[in-house]
Structure 1
Amino acid sequence: MSKQIQLETALSQALTPAHLSVADESHMHSRGLETHYKAVIVSERFAGLNAVKRHQLAYASLGDLMGQIHALALHTYTPAEWAEQGVAPASPTCRGGSAS
């Protein structure tokens, strides 16, 4: 099972999102395959939580999977926020860096 599917499954089970999108953005970076991901998560579980608490909740739902990837960009919204915004920001272009 790919890391992307594992991430989607873990986030879906823990956060019961109204919307979930997980993209493998490894091709934009120099660290290899299945290393960089972007997740857009819309969940009622985020209501009343600041960005740090939302990210901690997402990271906790992934458990050991976090140790198997290099980077995870999280964009977390409540359904009301998502209805207003409707799109997550684009990921920045990789600035290079070490390949190790």
Structure 2
Amino acid sequence: MNERMDKMRSLLVATFAPLECQLEDESHLHAGHAGAASGAGHYKLRMVSERFTGLNRIARHRLVYDCLRDMMSSDIHALNIVAIAPSEMTS
């Protein structure tokens, strides 16, 4: 993991106390993409947290974007979010 991902993970863990937090850097899949030219990355997040209980998908995504707000303008070009409440996990 790199420094940018470490910072993202720290913010997410502090905000959501997730049961699961999988963060992947998919920037290499977007080489040559206009958004990649600025150096901002493409990331995939799968997170399970009680904070998502009772919220729809849009509200969950807003919480994640709010958490990472400062990084969205410079470090993150794209973020694929899967936000799950513990009761929605499948075995």
TM bucket, shorter chain: 0.7 to 0.9
Q: Distance in 1 between matches of 2:6 and 2:13?
A: 10
Identify unmatched segments of 5+ residues in structure 1. 87-100
Equivalent residue number for residue 75 of structure 1: 82
Q: Distance in 2 between matches of 1:49 and 1:11?
A: 17
Q: Distance in 2 between matches of 1:34 and 1:40?
A: 19
Q: Residue 61 of structure 1 aligns to which amino acid in structure 2?
A: C
Q: Is the 8 A contact 1:41 1:77 kept in 2?
A: yes
Q: Distance in 2 between matches of 1:80 and 1:34?
A: 34
Equivalent residue number for residue 52 of structure 1: 58
Q: Is the 8 A contact 1:3 1:34 kept in 2?
A: no
Equivalent residue number for residue 38 of structure 1: 44
Q: Residue 77 of structure 2 aligns to which amino acid in structure 1?
A: H
CA RMSD in angstroms comes to 1.6
Report the count of equivalent residues: 84
Which structure: greater strand fraction? Answer: 2
Matches within 5 A, 1:83-94: 84=90
Identify unmatched segments of 5+ residues in structure 2. none
Superposition misfits of 4+ residues, deviation over 3 angstroms: none
Q: Distance in 2 between matches of 1:41 and 1:47?
A: 12
TM-score (norm 2): 0.84
Equivalent residue number for residue 5 of structure 2: 4
TM-score (norm 1): 0.77
